[in-house]
């Protein structure tokens, strides 16, 4: 606890505090809960404020909470930034930080019985002084607290340098950068890390502590210098044991060299300075792109190198602002060859290889198609793309857009006016292949944030590899409008995905319909949302077909359009979704994942219209069929009907007056019935959801037990007596 006065006389502290409360109490304040939004506000005065459900709010200006029971609550996952001073004043004032609170100037917490609690997941960073006063003040730090002067709170975790060095990081990279800049922290005071390259047997490895003058591998709080002449001789870093590089500033002295190998992850929080004759080379391959993420200024040229495999068309862009066609022509001298096209629309592909095509006259996010005859490495030396935003004027129909940055890029999910992809259909298509026979499209919808297909450890979630290009389609009437890509969306992809995409885990209320032809699996998605519609909208994504691959396709038909992502409303009782297929001849199997993760309870029945077969679909069930080579938009219908399902005795409705019977499944397939109807003979009939009768049997007494030797699915049980009838759906496993 720190008093406002040097003499620490508590009586004077409380007198001043009472006066402060009295002044603020006469002002208008308000209580508010901020639920799940991201916004920027002016500073203000509140009596209570709570941030919940991943709210992210920045206050530009001083922020005050004043009330006898005033409170500031930041729930886990939420973040509050105050670009100014923070004051919490009140006799029983309470601060509960379970999310993140960033304050660039001073913090004052005052009240006789006030409390400040930083929970296990809580983060508090303060750029100015931290002051607290109160006779019974309680302060608890179970999380992470970093202050400009850590002695202001004896239980803090350290100062601003400690915050920068924290491993794992306390703040996301961009929040850390903004905080350091806003508080005017002098990063030149950070520890120096000078390369010397003299570790025997590992003299080129960045990740060996013995290669550094201070005996430690650089961290986020290191100012790295690669000297002209390292003490170990002319040995420069060319590899890294774990392929992960962190530093604040990076300086290459005159004629120094630094090579970043393919598959690396580089984060430079500050500036990059490249001396005369120095060479910083960033290597990439299609299987192992390097993610190079920088936040400060770049002074000097960088060599950006890509190695391409032969036999594939690669959709590419450039991370260098001034690439030249001469760098592609350079591979011709070794007997290699290449073809390169500027994709202008569905019918026009302008050949630009071995011409005087001027890349520098084009938009930085313009994408191209490249194919090399033999495996080849192509390098460009120039200025690294680092602008806050890049744009391109949209043409009619389809076009190729590229990630212009040297890092991965998270496509934003934006549905509002002014969104980066507002004037496109909202869908992004990335080609993925190792050969023409397995070429497919990964699709991401920027309105809903949903991607397809599901892959080994998640789904395509719109993370685009460095300089990866992709297809978008302009909405009708939007020709001449712009599409944008912004540096704020740069990320590192933890999965280190190849030149295509990244992964995240599955989401709720998504049905993934899979069609397997024993060679490859295609997927269509049905997503249930409150704002979903039955007609075609920008939330839906068209299916794009690839000719000549080994895939059979499955799709939803929406307003006569074949869609790979189809967004429907939650209320779907008795809804029928038409599913089409474009398939090779042979045996296929169709399955649906995600049924058990639906928020609402639905019966799903797949109707094969050609064969007249109805199949109850649950997780794990496959429908197998044979087909000729076909493109049929009417082959299947998926019936969705909302209904309660009894899966065990505990799930059965127990209102005896209403139902007067209990029907449930035990031990996965044992049908159990309990009824006390006072009738001698009763009849049990079991139907599948298509209405076909599977069992009809009479019984006497109050109980009935029978094993149901049926396939996994939902069935209707009907119980009849002379005067009473009861029906219940059950789930047989």
DSSP calls for 134-187: -TT-EEEESSEEEESSGGGSTT--B-HHHHHH-SS-SS-HHHHHHHHHHTT--G
Lookup: tokens for 569: 């409303």
Distance, in Å, from the CA atom of 472 to the CA atom of 483, rounded to the nearest integer, reads 10
Q: How many angstroms separate the Cα of 282 from the Cα of each of 219, 290, 319, 407?
A: 19, 7, 11, 11
Write the Ramachandran bin of 252: left for phi over 0, alpha for psi from -120 to 50, otherwise beta. beta
The pLDDT, as a whole number, for residue 576 is 87
Distance, in Å, from the CA atom of 242 to the CA atom of 547, rounded to the nearest integer, reads 40
Q: What is the pTM of this model?
A: 0.79
Closest CA to 530 of 576, 573, 571: 571
440-445 and 482-486 as β-strands: parallel, antiparallel, unpaired?
A: unpaired
Average pLDDT per run of 10 along the chain, which is 733 residues long? 39 46 53 92 95 96 94 96 96 95 96 93 96 92 96 93 91 92 91 94 95 95 96 91 94 98 96 97 95 95 96 92 95 94 76 94 94 96 96 92 96 89 95 66 92 70 93 94 95 63 55 93 93 93 84 93 94 86 95 89 89 90 94 91 51 42 81 85 86 88 89 83 82 75
Closest CA to 308 of 374, 359, 262, 354: 374
Contact residues for 630 (Cβ-Cβ < 8 A; gap 6+) = 581, 582, 583
Closest CA to 523 of 432, 652, 598, 600: 432
Burial (CB < 10 A; 0-12, 13-18, 19+), residue 596, is exposed
Dihedral angle computed from the Cα positions of residues 522, 523, 524 and 528, in that order, rounded to the nearest 10 degrees: 180
408-410 and 398-402 as β-strands: parallel, antiparallel, unpaired?
A: unpaired
Contact residues for 477 (Cβ-Cβ < 8 A; gap 6+) = none
The pLDDT, as a whole number, for residue 247 is 96
Lookup: tokens for 484: 């944008």
Neighbours of 678 (CB within 10 A): 10
The pLDDT, as a whole number, for residue 572 is 79
The pLDDT, as a whole number, for residue 653 is 39
Instruction: Check: CB of residue 580 under 8 Å from CB of residue 562.
Output: yes
The pLDDT, as a whole number, for residue 261 is 97
Instruction: Check: CB of residue 429 under 8 Å from CB of residue 544.
Output: yes
The pLDDT, as a whole number, for residue 453 is 85
Which residues are bridge partners to 625 per DSSP? 588
Instruction: Check: CB of residue 601 under 8 Å from CB of residue 644.
Output: yes
Distance, in Å, from the CA atom of 677 to the CA atom of 725, rounded to the nearest integer, reads 10
- For the chain, the domains span 10-182, 187-305, 314-377+387-504, 510-642, 649-732
Burial (CB < 10 A; 0-12, 13-18, 19+), residue 175, is middle
Match domain 649-732 to its CATH number in 1.10.357.10, 3.40.50.720, 3.90.230.10, 2.60.40.3080: 2.60.40.3080
Neighbours of 106 (CB within 10 A): 18
Neighbours of 345 (CB within 10 A): 12
């Amino acid at each position: 606890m720190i008093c406002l006065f040097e003499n620490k006389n508590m009586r004077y502290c409380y007198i001043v505090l009472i006066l402060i409360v009295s002044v603020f109490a006469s002002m208008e304040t308000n209580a508010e809960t901020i639920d799940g939004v991201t916004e920027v506000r002016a500073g203000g005065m509140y009596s209570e404020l709570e941030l919940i459900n991943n709210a992210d709010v920045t206050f530009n200006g001083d922020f005050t909470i004043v009330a006898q029971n005033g409170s500031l609550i930041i729930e886990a996952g939420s973040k509050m930034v105050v670009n100014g001073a923070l004051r919490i004043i009140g006799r029983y004032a309470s601060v509960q930080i379970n999310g993140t609170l960033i304050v660039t100037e001073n913090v004052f917490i005052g009240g006789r019985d006030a409390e400040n609690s930083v929970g296990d997941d809580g983060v508090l960073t303060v750029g100015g002084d931290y002051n607290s006063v109160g006779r019974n003040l309680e302060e608890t730090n179970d999380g992470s607290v970093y202050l400009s002067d850590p002695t202001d709170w004896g239980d803090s975790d350290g100062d601003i340098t400690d915050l920068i060095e924290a491993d794992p990081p306390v703040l996301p990279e961009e929040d850390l950068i903004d905080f350091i800049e806003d508080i005017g922290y002098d990063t030149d005071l950070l520890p120096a890390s000078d390369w010397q390259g003299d570790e025997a047997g590992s003299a080129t490895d960045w990740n060996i502590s013995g290669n550094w003058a201070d005996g430690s591998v650089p961290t986020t709080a290191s100012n790295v210098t690669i000297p002209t002449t390292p003490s170990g001789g002319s040995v420069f870093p060319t590899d890294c044991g774990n392929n992960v590089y962190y530093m604040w500033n990076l300086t290459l002295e005159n004629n120094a060299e630094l090579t970043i190998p393919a598959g690396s992850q580089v984060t430079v929080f500050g500036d990059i300075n490249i001396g005369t004759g120095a060479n910083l080379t960033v290597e990439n391959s299609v299987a192992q792109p390097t993610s190079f993420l920088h936040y400060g200024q770049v002074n000097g040229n960088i060599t950006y190198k890509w190695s391409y495999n032969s036999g594939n068309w690669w959709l590419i862009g450039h991370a260098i602002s001034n690439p030249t066609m001469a760098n592609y022509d350079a591979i011709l001298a070794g007997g290699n060859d290449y073809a390169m096209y500027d994709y202008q629309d569905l019918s026009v592909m302008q050949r630009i290889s071995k011409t005087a095509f001027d890349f520098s006259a084009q938009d930085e996010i313009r994408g191209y198609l490249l194919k090399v005859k033999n495996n080849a490495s192509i390098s460009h030396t120039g200025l690294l793309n680092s602008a806050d935003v890049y744009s391109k004027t949209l043409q009619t129909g389809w076009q190729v857009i590229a990630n212009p940055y040297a890092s991965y890029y998270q496509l934003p999910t934006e549905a509002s006016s002014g969104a980066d992809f507002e004037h496109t259909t909202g869908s992004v298509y990335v080609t993925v292949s190792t050969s023409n026979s397995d070429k497919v499209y990964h699709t991401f919808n920027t309105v809903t944030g949903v991607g397809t297909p599901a892959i080994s450890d998640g789904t395509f979630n719109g993370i685009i590899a460095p300089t990866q290009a992709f297809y978008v389609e302009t909405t009708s009437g939007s020709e001449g409008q712009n599409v944008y890509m912004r540096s704020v969306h740069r990320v590192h992809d933890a999965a280190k995905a190849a030149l295509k995409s990244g992964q995240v885990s599955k989401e709720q209320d998504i049905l993934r319909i899979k069609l397997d032809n024993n060679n490859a699996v295609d997927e269509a998605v049905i997503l249930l949302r409150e704002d979903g519609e039955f007609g075609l909208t920008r939330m839906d994504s068209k299916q794009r077909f690839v000719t000549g691959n080994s895939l059979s396709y499955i799709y939803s038909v929406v307003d006569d359009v074949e869609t790979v992502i189809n967004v429907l409303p939650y209320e779907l009782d008795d809804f029928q979704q038409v599913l089409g297929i474009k398939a090779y001849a042979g045996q296929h199997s169709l399955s649906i994942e995600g049924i058990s993760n639906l928020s609402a309870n639905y019966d799903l029945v797949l109707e094969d219209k050609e064969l007249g077969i109805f199949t109850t679909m649950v997780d794990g069930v496959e429908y197998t069929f044979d087909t000729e080579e076909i493109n049929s938009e009417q082959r299947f219908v998926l019936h969705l009907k909302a209904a309660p399902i009894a899966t065990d005795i505990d799930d059965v409705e127990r209102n005896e007056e209403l139902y007067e019977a209990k029907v449930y499944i035990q031990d996965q397939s044992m049908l159990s019935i309990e009824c006390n109807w006072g009738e001698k003979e009763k009849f049990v009939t079991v139907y599948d959801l298509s209405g076909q009768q599977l069992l009809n049997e009479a019984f006497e007494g109050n109980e009935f037990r029978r094993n149901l030797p049926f396939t996994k699915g939902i069935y209707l049980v009907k119980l009849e007596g002379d005067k009473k009838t009861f029906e219940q759906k059950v789930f047989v496993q």
